[in-house]
Amino acid sequence: MGDRLWYHARFGMTIQSTLGADFREVLRGLIAVHHSIYPLVPPQGIYFEALVERAFKRTRKPFSWIEPGGRNLPRHDLLVEGTRLSLKTETGRGTDPDQILITKLCTTEKEPWAAEDLIQRVVAHLSRYDFILMLRAIWRLPVIKYQLLEVPVDLLRLVKTASLMPVGRRKGRQSFGADILAAGQCVYHVHFDAADGKCQIRNLPVSSCVRIDEWEIQVTD
């Protein structure tokens, strides 16, 4: 527990100084405006990216988009005051308030499709980020509760310790999965889907992340 509190204190300060209270306030307002147009559609993907961009512009914080270096890398990443930022969302109606699902950490579809190669691609992908900013929507209609989190990149890098095993009954190329351990406990599950080449992170506790902001929005159909 002491290590976790130390981690939150160290990286939480970095996030607060990079984003700032003014950014969080503006982002809340922009998401509220989004819901005034799309009451039951939380912002995700490129729509969340657009709101983050607008929030930085309104708070006059310098930033730039980073173009991808390859077809399997994210379409956009942000560079904010020298900090490399990746944006993720989890906003479906089945979003768990306590467990995070990253449906696409990255795409690893190229050959060879072998455990060691898949792990190396993910580790290389994660080297592009200083932290990951994630917006999550918890459905409790007529209320949607939002979580704005930092997903710890160092924790995701533990994928390099994975002992991947084949999973599923798919013929031909097989999917792989493994529980990732830290201090003898499972901290999340990594899954490489042979059908679409995506690397997923499953069952990552919200408690292992830095909570940047939480708020609720009343929505109506």
Q: DSSP letters along 175-201, please?
A: EEEEEEEETTEEEEEEEE-TTT-EEEE
Alpha helices of 112-164 — where are they, by DSSP H? 115-126, 153-156
Q: Tell me the two tokens of residue 137.
A: 């929507």
Q: Note whether 19 and 212 are within 8 A (CB).
A: yes
pLDDT at 188: 97
- Residue 219: partners with Cβ closer than 8 Å, 6 or more residues away: 35, 39, 40, 141, 142, 143, 144
pLDDT at 120: 95
Residue type, 157: R
Sheet holding 63-66, edge to edge: 63-66, 77-80, 83-90, 131-140, 143-151, 210-218
Q: Note whether 200 and 107 are within 8 A (CB).
A: no
pLDDT in tens, the chain (221 residues): 334 433 444 444 456 667 888 999 999 999 999 999 999 999 998 899 999 999 999 998 888 776 654 444 544 578 888 888 899 999 999 999 999 999 999 988 788 999 999 999 999 999 988 889 999 999 999 999 999 999 999 999 999 999 999 998 878 889 999 999 998 899 999 999 999 999 999 999 999 998 999 999 999 87
| Number of C-beta neighbours around residue 146 at 10 A | 19
**Rounded CA separation 94/91 (Å):** 8
Split into its structural domains, the chain has a count of 1
pLDDT at 1: 36
Domain that holds residue 141: 2-218
